[in-house]
A and B are shown apart, each in its own frame.
Chain A
């Protein structure tokens, strides 16, 4: 079982994402933005960071990287893809997920431990969580405010596509406290907080993030 992690110019969390994949029991494979070959991986993580310096819009230029052409095509065929933070921005810019991410409403960078509720545990990346499981993982972002028009927000809620919601105070102005969403099929998930930083107690506030990576191992085996 191989989990590929893409490195774009300006990615920051690719190494932690590979480590999390390995801790979960997968073989972590480094993928390069300029290489359209996915090297036989069974799932892909788009990591956090500031790919292409967030120039134009966060994720706007990465979305056209050669590796993304393959990922967009394979995601349509059911390949599990998790976009974390900047990766979530890339997925929205790719139109694999609806909506967009804009600057935090308070205009400051955030770095904190954040409580979330997993509201959809039927995706490829969240099946190891109980329904409405509350977890605490790291949140660190600048452009973390999830926005979409009202009909899209209503559809996301109505179809159960909100994967995670912020608990307590809304940290970045995201509409309806949305921290993560999925596509209809449940193979593509975007999440603003960082599960990959929360797989070992030595360096994270919890090991609550590990479930994303163990979930996808089961999803791949089951398919």
Chain B
């Protein structure tokens, strides 16, 4: 079974309050030298069979309509090598 991974990030111009909170915790915990933190989402999608071109195109459609909101987010998609 193949796995497709979709990584979703807020667009750079959109404020990320969660990332800001994590960045604040870095400072409190003494992790120095960190300029910024942005938080995203990772979706690991396991297919029934092989990652055919058609199947990946379907997942891309799902990413466009459901997994990411193109108004505020960008995504990247890749097929993971067999385990």
Binding site for B on A (CB under 8 A): 56-57, 60, 64, 92-93, 98-100, 102-107, 145, 147-149, 173
Contact = CB atoms under 8 A, between A and B. Distances in A.
A107 B72 contact: no
Nearest to B68: A57
B14 A102 contact: yes
B8 to A, nearest CB: 9
A178 to B, nearest CB: 14
B79 interface: no
A202 to B, nearest CB: 35
Given A60-B66, A107-B20, A173-B17, 9 more contacts: A56-B66, A64-B66, A98-B71, A99-B71, A100-B69, A147-B14, A147-B72, A149-B13, A173-B15
Interface in B39-67: 66-67
Contacts of B14: 102, 147
A205 B18 CA distance: 32
B69 A147 contact: no
A176 B28 CA distance: 32
B71 A100 contact: yes
Interface string B9-23: 010011101101100
Contacts of B21: 107
A149 B13 CA distance: 8
A104 B17 contact: yes
A102 B71 contact: no
Contacts of A98: 71
A92 B20 CA distance: 24
Contacts of A149: 13
Contacts of B15: 102, 105, 145, 147, 173
B71 A103 contact: no
A8 B15 CA distance: 28
A145 B18 CA distance: 13
Contacts of A99: 71
Contacts of B13: 149
A8 B7 CA distance: 28
A57 B41 CA distance: 11
B66 A148 contact: no
Contacts of B18: 103, 107
Contacts of A103: 17-18
25 contacts: A56-B66, A57-B69, A60-B66, A64-B66, A92-B71, A98-B71, A99-B71, A100-B69, A100-B71, A100-B72, A102-B15, A102-B17, A103-B18, A104-B17, A105-B15, A105-B17, A106-B17, A107-B17, A107-B18, A107-B20, A107-B21, A145-B17, A147-B14, A147-B72, A149-B13
A104 B72 CA distance: 15
Contacts of A100: 69, 71-72
A93 B17 contact: no
